[in-house]
Amino acid sequence: MEILSSFILLGKGILSCLTLQNLLCCTIGSLIGSLIGVLPGIGISGTVAILLPVTYGFDPLTALIMLSGIYFGSAYGGAITSILINIPGEATSIVTCFDGNPLAKKGKGGKALSISAISSFLGGCIGIIGLTIFATMLSRVALQFGKVEFFAIIIFGLVLLTTVASKNMLKGLIVVCLGVLIGCIGLDEVFGSLRFTFGVVDLFKGVEFVTFIMGVYGITELLFAIAGEEESGEIMNYSKADLYPTKSDFKAIWKTVVRCSCLGFGMGLIPGCGGTLATFFAYGLERSLSKHPEEFGEGSIVGVAAPEATNNAAVYGSMVPLLSLGIPFSSSMAIMMSAFIVHGITPGPLFITEHPDLFWGLIGSMLIGNIILLIINLPFVGIWASMLKVNFSILMPIITMVTFAGGYAINGSVFDLGVMVVCGFFGFFLNVCGYNMAALAVSLFLCGTLEDAFVGTMTLYKGNLLSAFINRPIGGVIFLAAIIFFLYSAGKNFYNFAKTKNTK
Amino acid sequence: MKKKLLSWTNRIISIFLVCLGIFVLIYSNRKLEFGSVTNPKGGFTPIIFSSGLIIFGIINTVFEFIKKPEIPEKLKNIHWDKWIIYMAECALYVFLIDKVGYFVDTTIILFAMIKLSGAKGWLKPLLITLATAFLLFAMFNYAMKIVLPKASWF
């Protein structure tokens, strides 16, 4: 019954989005999201960070609709580059290259792009169904969460970010510490003391998260694009007649899409896992289930459908902790959360009950964003491909100026622009040295919540963490899982290092 | 010399992070109150996490020195002249923005960026620059009602 009422509310949410202005904003968002996302090197996080200022002037619902268009547009843009020129725009698009690019080389690039768009759309629809069912349930559970549970779940998320999402666990731990320390700058909300401000008034409010993100993602990405090796711009030829999948193609992929969407949604729910790991799992699963595993890697349409359905469904999975707990566990979700906050929306346990119109409007907007993306992208495959021929020497400086204007617009502060440049400078070097930027951004974002939850726990239980976790068993189990996972990963990392050393 | 420096990037960054951790730890110890486990104060979190940064940073530095120094993959294709020019342009843009105003600053720096990025000719880059500066100025100032910096004389 409750699930039914959730779907009724979803229907109302969809209807509230169906105004001319909202549809137009969603279309524009999808278009410019795809436009930026198709540029090699600029991923979802970078695109949303760069285009966030475009949404400033709108009311919250319209802005959310436009943002979802930008988000899914940039995700699709990443798939276009993966398929046509073998450059994944985002980590979640890496697996799409495995079969997408061989298909493009066979002259079936158009079909690969269509399969990608359709699979993403279907994955998104299944993800929305999952989100509609689980978000309400989890938000009710989340209402029971206290400081102890929040502390445990943040620690668990950070452990997963440093272990699963980071290639090098040690570097993951370093950036988590660094992120929390950057988050400590400014007026401390828990104790009311000024920390690391060095008398600079502009630092009293701390490092603005969006500014920080625009620096470490936006400026860093632009640095790579401007100073990196120029892309060849060579586009594989594809037959326009072979643009759309046939009935037999649909027959071949539908089971894959359903399976992978469920897998993606489930893995997206796990903090820190995100879509990247899920796409690898899905690809492996489909290859092992396939009657023709030898086709994988050579240009299998199932090999394109699997990662695309998975990563889109995983987006909705990772929206569940974001919307119901208010905790983002990936950089792109952290950027989405900051975008929500910019528009006066604070996700969390009370978000669904206090702002049902916005919550269901948001979910509805995602569905509409997906539909519009499908409609506008299928006929424009050729145009997107030609975007790669764009003159970078003109485009990148313009994007830089848009980023600066957006960075200034957040607080109207020139100081923030300086912070952005400094963050871009350090972000570049941390990025090239393999430090996980997602862990850095998320830990900075969670610093305040972590400190509040930790201090609250310590004060309530008189510094006895053991007592806290015994009295609050849910928190205890999550914390124990975090410790076990941490120790297991540390041991595995050390074993791998020793093994590599001995082999050499 | 350049190659050697680049191959030391991992080590330099690692040492820098350890030094940063030490600085934060000393600063927090002197200027902020730690409190106690039962009653933490403002210095509690910075001290714990700067200690973590130092410990993990030292271990990482040791690993970096055990490994053979290599130029990070992403640095191999970087054109350093372009990199430095772009960073300098960004810094100059921020420095000038409240002195000459948004429109003039954007026009000058964007034009310089486009030209230094290798755009050919003068008229096309100039027209693109002026159009972009005007559009951004109009979009933020008039459509979004966000007042961008203006110089007193412009």
Tokens of A47: 């695109």
Q: A395, A53, A342: which is closest to B136 by C-alpha?
A: A53
Question: Distance between CA atoms of A303 and A85, rounded to whole angstroms?
Answer: 17
For residue A234, the model assigns a pLDDT of: 46
Please, which residues have CB within 8 angstroms of residue A240's CB and are 6 or more apart in sequence?
A110, A382
Residue A195: beta bridge partners?
A186
Q: How far is A162 from chain B (nearest CA, A)?
A: 12
Question: Distance between CA atoms of A504 and A498, rounded to whole angstroms?
Answer: 10
Q: Which of residues 29 through 48 in chain B touch A, CB cutoff 8 A?
A: 32-33, 36-46
Q: Evaluate whether A185 touches A196 at the Cβ level (below 8 Å).
A: yes
| Cβ-based neighbour number of residue A493 at 10 Å | 15
Provide the number of CB pairs (under 8 Å) joining chain A to chain B: 176
B80 inside 8 A of chain A by CB: yes
For residue A60, the model assigns a pLDDT of: 80
**Domain enclosing residue A80, as ranges:** 2-503
Q: How far is A43 from chain B (nearest CA, A)?
A: 16
For residue B145, the model assigns a pLDDT of: 67
Q: Domain limits of chain B? A: 2-75, 80-143
Question: Distance between CA atoms of A222 and A423, rounded to whole angstroms?
Answer: 13
Higher pLDDT, B2 or A183: A183
Could you report the per-residue pLDDT of B105-149, keeping only the tens digit for each?
Answer: 999 999 999 988 888 888 989 999 999 999 888 877 776 667 888
Shortest CB distance from A56 goes to which of B78, B144, B148? B144
Task: For CA atoms A404, A410, A412, A413, give the dihedral sign.
Answer: negative
Determine, for residues A178 and B52 on separate chains, whether the beta-carbon distance falls below 8 Å: no
For residue B54, the model assigns a pLDDT of: 96
Q: How far is B9 from chain A (nearest CA, A)?
A: 7
Determine, for residues B87 and A229 on separate chains, whether the beta-carbon distance falls below 8 Å: no
Domain count, chain A: 1
Q: Taking CB atoms and an 8 Å cutoff, what residues of chain A touch B117?
A: 226, 392-394, 396-397
Residue A180's closest chain B neighbor by CA? B49
For residue A342, the model assigns a pLDDT of: 79
Shortest CB distance from A408 goes to which of B39, B75, B148? B148
Which ipTM score applies to this complex? Answer: 0.93
CA distances from A468 to A481, A495, B36 (A): 16, 33, 17
Higher pLDDT, A341 or B28: B28
Q: Taking CB atoms and an 8 Å cutoff, what residues of chain B touch A223?
A: 83, 86-87
Question: Distance between CA atoms of A478 and A153, rounded to whole angstroms?
Answer: 6
Q: What is the pLDDT along chain A (504 residues), one digit of tens a residue?
A: 667 777 888 888 888 878 888 888 888 888 887 777 666 555 677 777 777 777 777 888 888 888 888 888 877 777 776 777 666 656 677 778 788 878 877 777 778 888 888 888 888 888 888 888 877 776 667 667 788 888 888 888 788 778 765 678 889 899 999 999 999 999 887 777 889 998 888 899 888 877 887 788 778 878 887 887 654 444 445 555 566 778 888 888 888 999 999 888 887 776 655 566 678 778 878 888 888 888 888 888 898 999 889 888 888 887 777 777 777 766 777 777 877 887 777 787 777 777 788 788 888 888 888 888 888 777 776 666 555 556 777 878 887 888 888 788 777 889 999 999 999 999 999 988 988 887 888 788 788 888 888 888 888 888 888 888 888 888 899 899 889 988 988 888 788 777 776 766
For residue A500, the model assigns a pLDDT of: 73
Please, which residues have CB within 8 angstroms of residue B5's CB and are 6 or more apart in sequence?
none
The pTM of the full predicted model, rounded to 2 decimals, is: 0.74
Mean of the per-residue pLDDT values of chain B: 88
For residue A418, the model assigns a pLDDT of: 94
Q: What is the DSSP letter of A214?
A: I
Greatest distance between any 2 Cα atoms in chain A: 71
Determine, for residues B117 and A396 on separate chains, whether the beta-carbon distance falls below 8 Å: yes
| Cβ-based neighbour number of residue A236 at 10 Å | 18
Shortest CB distance from B17 goes to which of A174, A196, A398? A174
Determine, for residues B40 and A455 on separate chains, whether the beta-carbon distance falls below 8 Å: yes
For residue B126, the model assigns a pLDDT of: 93
